[in-house]
């Protein structure tokens, strides 16, 4: 960022409009000093190019004057550096990508689409905190380890699709995968946000056992149950009619999700539509807001030579031109 140390010197720029006004007035009135009784002798004489471009010399002088004034004002350019004095939060989002996430009860799209969009908004609002992503169905996989490169996280979120993982709902395995990523974390706060729409039915790790490990490691788990109550409209491929929709009962183990969250100091939420899911992530963001202490240093470098050298060059060129090609007879 460029700033001027001697700001008062910039007042001298006000001389330029006055000099331009004086020059234009002299041109209008005629500034020649030789009088001729007749101009017949000059008929048929073509004007040289120096006459047509005589005003360029004055413009060059004004530009040189302006640059000289800017150099006199001592321009400086500052470079800011930030030193972060406190550590942020390590957050891992565990996102359910099982077949039931295809249910289209979170209009206008299915559960996975809406969950991806809301998680994306959540990541876009994070600063200074490391974020990771675990995706699970019948098995759990780390799709993105903890990182400050939010662009990478957003790209991974966009790439999540249904049907790429063996079907099922391995909530315990998902939590264990998250905890494995957080166990060596030195962040002052470690958080898992579990987003699911089902009941644990796969994996070797029980969700409540994973919650006990989380409590031991000092990890807080927020659980989010996604889906309407009652039944949900789910697309199913029929061998005779192709893609058809059937209403299937919504089964979310809310008791277990609430127990997992409560035992670690977290909170269980239920999202029955897109708006409620967005509010849930906003609330989690407020609860886990990072207080970052930052010291800012600014280093300034003198930049007056960038103005003074062009000013000197233009002034020298103007002076040489005034006494050579643009020289006038008094």
**What would the pLDDT profile of 65-111 be if each residue is shown by its tens digit?**
888 888 888 888 766 665 554 567 899 999 999 999 999 888 778 99
Phi and psi at 8, nearest 5°, equal -60, -30
Rounded CA separation 48/291 (Å):
72
Structure tokens at 177: 């995968």
Question: Both tokens of residue 98?
Answer: 């099982």
**Cα(71)–Cα(52) distance, rounded to whole angstroms?**
32
CA–CA separation, 91 vs 211, rounded Å? 16
How confident is the model at residue 324, as a pLDDT?
73
- Asked if residue 108 belongs to a domain, the reply is yes
The number of domains in the chain is 2
- Do 197 and 271 reside in the same domain of the chain? yes
**Is-above-0.85 flag for pTM?**
no
Same domain, 167 and 278: yes
Total residues belonging to the chain: 330
In a domain, 293, yes or no: no
In a domain, 327, yes or no: no
Dihedral sign for Cα atoms in the order 241, 243, 245, 249: positive
To which residue do tokens 């006199």 refer? 72
Residues 194, 310: one domain? no
- pLDDT, residue 215, reads 96
Domain that holds residue 29: 2-80+298-322
Query: d(Cα 88, Cα 260) in Å, to the nearest integer?
Result: 24
Q: Would 282 be classed as within a structural domain?
A: yes
- Indicate whether 61 and 98 sit together in one domain: no
**Degrees (nearest 5) of the Cα angle 55, 58, 64?**
145
pLDDT at position 229? 85
| Domain-embedded: residue 26 | yes
pLDDT per position as a tens digit, 213-262: 999 999 999 999 999 888 888 877 777 777 777 888 888 999 999 999 99
Q: Is residue 261 located within the same domain as residue 304?
A: no
Q: Which pair of tokens denotes residue 291?
A: 């207080």
CATH number at residue 99: 3.40.50.410
Query: 3-state SS of the chain?
Result: CEEECCHHHHHHHHHHHHHHHHHHHHHHHCCCCCCCCCCHHHCCCCCCHHHHCHHHHHHHHHHHHHHHHHHHCCEEEEEEEEEECCCCEEEEEEEECCHHHHCCCECCECHHHHHHHHHHHHHHCCCCCEEEEEEECCCEEEEEEEECCHHHHHHHHHHCCCCCCCCCCCHHHHHHHHHHHHCCCCCCEEEEEEEECCCCCCCCCCHHHHHHHHHHHCEEEEEEEECCCCEEEEEEEECCCEEEEEEEECCCCHHHHHHHHHHHCCCEEEECCHHHHHHHHHHHHHHCCCCCCEEEEEEEEECCHHHHHHHHHHHHHHHHHHCCCCCCCC
What residues are paired with 22 via a beta bridge? none
148 and 278 housed in the same domain: yes
72 and 90 inside one domain: no
pLDDT at position 98 is 93
pLDDT computed for residue 145 by the predictor: 95
Residue 159 has phi, psi (to 5 degrees) of -85, -5
For residue 192, give the nearest of 106, 257, 139 by alpha carbon: 257
190 and 277, same domain (yes or no)? yes
> In whole numbers, what is the pLDDT of the chain averaged over residues?
84
131: tokens are: 């974020």
- The answer to whether 129 and 188 have CB atoms below 8 angstroms apart is no
Phi, psi of 13 (to 5 degrees): -65, -20
Looking at the structure, do residues 20 and 135 belong to the same domain, yes or no? no
Whether residue 151 sits in one domain with residue 244? yes
Assess whether 251 and 171 both reside in one domain. Answer: yes
Q: What local confidence, expressed as pLDDT, does residue 46 receive?
A: 57
- Residue 150 in any domain: the answer is yes
Are 118 and 264 found together in one domain? Answer: yes
pLDDT of the chain, 330 residues: tens digit per residue? 677 788 888 888 888 888 888 888 887 776 555 555 555 555 555 555 555 566 777 888 888 888 888 888 888 876 666 555 456 789 999 999 999 999 988 877 899 999 999 999 999 998 888 999 999 999 999 999 999 999 999 999 999 999 899 999 999 999 999 999 999 888 888 999 999 998 999 999 999 999 999 999 999 999 999 998 888 888 777 777 777 778 888 889 999 999 999 999 999 999 999 999 999 999 998 888 765 555 666 667 777 788 888 888 888 887 787 767 666 555
Inside any domain, residue 292: no
What pLDDT is recorded for position 293?
59
The β-bridge partners of 300 are 78
Which pair of structure tokens corresponds to residue 4? 């001027």
Whether 64 is covered by a domain: the verdict is yes
- pLDDT of res. 299: 67
pLDDT for 328: 59
């Amino acid at each position: 960022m460029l700033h001027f140390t001697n700001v008062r010197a910039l007042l001298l720029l006000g001389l330029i409009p006055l000099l331009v006004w004086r020059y234009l007035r002299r041109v209008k009135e005629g500034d020649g000093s030789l009088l001729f009784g007749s101009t017949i002798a000059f008929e048929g004489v073509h004007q040289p190019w120096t006459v047509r471009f005589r005003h360029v010399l004055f413009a060059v002088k004004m530009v040189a004057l302006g640059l000289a004034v800017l150099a006199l004002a001592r321009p400086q350019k500052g470079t800011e550096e930030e030193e972060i004095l406190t550590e942020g939060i390590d957050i891992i989002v565990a996102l359910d990508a099982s077949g039931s996430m295809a249910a289209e009860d979170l209009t206008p799209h299915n559960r996975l689409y809406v969950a991806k969009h809301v998680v994306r908004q959540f990541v876009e609002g994070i600063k200074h905190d490391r974020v990771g992503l675990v995706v699970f169905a019948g098995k759990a996989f780390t799709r993105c380890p903890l990182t400050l490169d939010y662009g990478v996280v957003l790209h991974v979120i966009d790439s999540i699709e249904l049907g790429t993982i063996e079907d099922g709902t391995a909530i315990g395995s998902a939590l264990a995968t998250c905890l494995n990523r957080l166990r060596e974390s030195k962040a002052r706060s470690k958080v898992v946000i579990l987003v699911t729409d089902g009941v644990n039915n796969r994996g070797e790790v029980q969700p409540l056992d994973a919650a006990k490990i989380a409590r031991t490691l000092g990890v807080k788990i927020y659980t989010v149950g996604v889906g309407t109550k009652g039944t949900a409209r789910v697309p199913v491929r029929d061998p005779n009619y192709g893609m058809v929709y059937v209403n299937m009962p919504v089964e979310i183990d809310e008791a277990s999700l609430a127990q997992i969250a409560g035992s670690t100091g977290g909170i269980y939420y239920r999202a029955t539509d897109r708006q409620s899911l967005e509010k849930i992530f906003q609330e989690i963001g407020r609860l886990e807001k990072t207080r970052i202490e930052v010291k800012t240093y600014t280093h300034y470098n003198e930049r007056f030579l960038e103005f003074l050298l062009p000013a000197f060059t233009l002034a020298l060129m103007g002076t040489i031109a005034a006494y050579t090609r643009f020289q006038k007879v008094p």
